[in-house]
Amino acid sequence: MIRSLSRLVQKFHSINVRYSNPRIGMSPAVRTCLMALRLYLLFLVALMLYKFVSLIVA
């Protein structure tokens, strides 16, 4: 069990290492897009949290 888990962790680690450097050139346009995406996702998460909390309170 522990062996399987450690193998899984290793696998995740190797994937992270393999894809650690984004191949796409980080031009200002790409950076802006990625930043906008982050903000958009934060906005959605905030909305879902608000809905979740309001459901619990109600």
Q: Residues interacting with other proteins, by CB under 8 A? A: 11, 15-16, 19-25, 30, 33-34, 37, 40-41, 44, 47-48, 51
Tokens in use for 52?
Answer: 């979740």
Task: Quote the DSSP letter at residue 19.
Answer: T
Q: How far is CA 21 from the centre of its chain?
A: 16
Q: How many Cα atoms sit within 13 Å of 19 on the Cβ side?
A: 5
Q: Which is nearer to other proteins, 2 or 41 (CB)?
A: 41
Q: Which is nearer to other proteins, 3 or 23 (CB)?
A: 23
Least distance between other proteins and beta carbon 15 (Å): 6
